[in-house]
Amino acid sequence: MIRLQYTIPFMLSVAVTATVSAAGRDYISIVGSSTVYPFATVVAEQFGRSSGMKTPKVESTGSGGGMKLFCTGVGVEHPDITNSSRRMKASEFKKCQANGVTGIIEVKIGYDGIVLANSKQSPQVNVSRKDIYLALAKEIPDPSGAERPVPNPHKTWKDVNPSLPANKIEVLGPPPTSGTRDAFVELAMEGGCKTFGWIKAMKKQDKKNYKSVCHTIREDGAFIEVGENDNLIVQKLLANPKALGVFGFSFLDQNADRIQGSLVDNKEPTFENIADGSYPVSRPLYFYVKKAHVGVIPGVKEFLAEFTSDKAWGDEGYLSDKGLIPMPEQERGKFAYDVRALNILSSL
């Protein structure tokens, strides 16, 4: 039989000793984009192993969530660094300033390509951004030529462009919360959307309408949201060779034996094409640092030095092995200099 009168006090005493609070923080706290996560973690691990300091904690919260946490304030309870798969927005910058986060150092770390890929069992696809837009947008310009948006009537790729195969339009991609989706919409969809003169003209007059025409993905089943797991998309592509998938370049890089990237505007998504900017669907990746935390949280300066070293983000650094596309040397030099000098963002 269990002696209750002894178990309860014992458990309570455990609870009390467990809640003795620890002040301060002896590790770097990083939040932000799930796209930058695989790169930030590699640097964090390398830093932890080689510096003898504690390995930074890297949370995967998404770019927007990271900015929110980052801009909440200055102090040990707030993160030191936030990763982002897009540049900080002016509204976020303002919010940061309002909460006392005034010294923000911006660091661009490199580029990431977004690929449209399919299984190797099917032939490689060659599309233009215009094709992507016409296949996936909820509303497209009236095919008859009238300057008004109509619900997307296209069922197969052949409907979009006669040179494409007569396969059903079936694209697997991330949900709207994902930075990859944002970038895909902005770079591929909007890129195709802008090829229509009257829509481009609309941008100046009616920005809201322009955005809704260019940025809204169709919801009738042609675009299938698969969740923020790129591995899952890869597996579904293997199961369904007729479907296309949208995800980050590093997943294509790791699975090059099973899937192939589609050519976009006649450019193949290769390391070289993304690095020199000729592949159109690529975006820069960033992280932001609080200047006020440098010197307060141990290791921030050393971590920045590790991240901006050629050993990490250089042409042959370990980040490029993980699929990050390095910046040109001159650009790297500029950001490395800003980091060393702790130059802060003055405005956006």
Q: Which residues of 103-115 are buried (b: 16+ CB within 10 A; e: fewer)?
A: bbbbbbbbbbbbb
- CA gap 33, 47 in Å, rounded: 20
How many of the chain's residues bind another protein (CB under 8 A)?
53
Residue 146 CB, nearest distance to another protein (Å)?
44
- Which span (56-64, 98-106, 162-170, 300-308) binds another protein, by CB under 8 A? 56-64
279 half-sphere exposure, CB direction, 13 A CA radius: 26
Would you say 12 or 166 has its CB closer to another protein?
12
Would you say 23 or 341 has its CB closer to another protein?
23
- CA gap 315, 189 in Å, rounded: 30
Q: Is residue 255 involved in binding another protein (CB under 8 A)?
A: yes
Q: Is residue 131 involved in binding another protein (CB under 8 A)?
A: no
- CA gap 324, 178 in Å, rounded: 18
- CA gap 189, 207 in Å, rounded: 16
When binding is defined by CB under 8 A, the residue of 5, 205, 330, 346 that contacts another protein is 5
Q: Is residue 38 involved in binding another protein (CB under 8 A)?
A: yes
Q: Is residue 77 involved in binding another protein (CB under 8 A)?
A: yes
Q: Is residue 309 involved in binding another protein (CB under 8 A)?
A: no
When binding is defined by CB under 8 A, the residue of 6, 21, 205, 219 that contacts another protein is 21
Would you say 74 or 222 has its CB closer to another protein?
74
Q: Is residue 239 involved in binding another protein (CB under 8 A)?
A: no
Contact 65, 103 (CB under 8 A): no
- Which span (55-63, 87-95, 185-193, 212-220) binds another protein, by CB under 8 A? 55-63
Q: Please classify residue 10 by burial: count the beta carbons closer than 10 Å to its beta carbon, then call 0-12 exposed, 13-18 middle and 19+ buried.
A: exposed
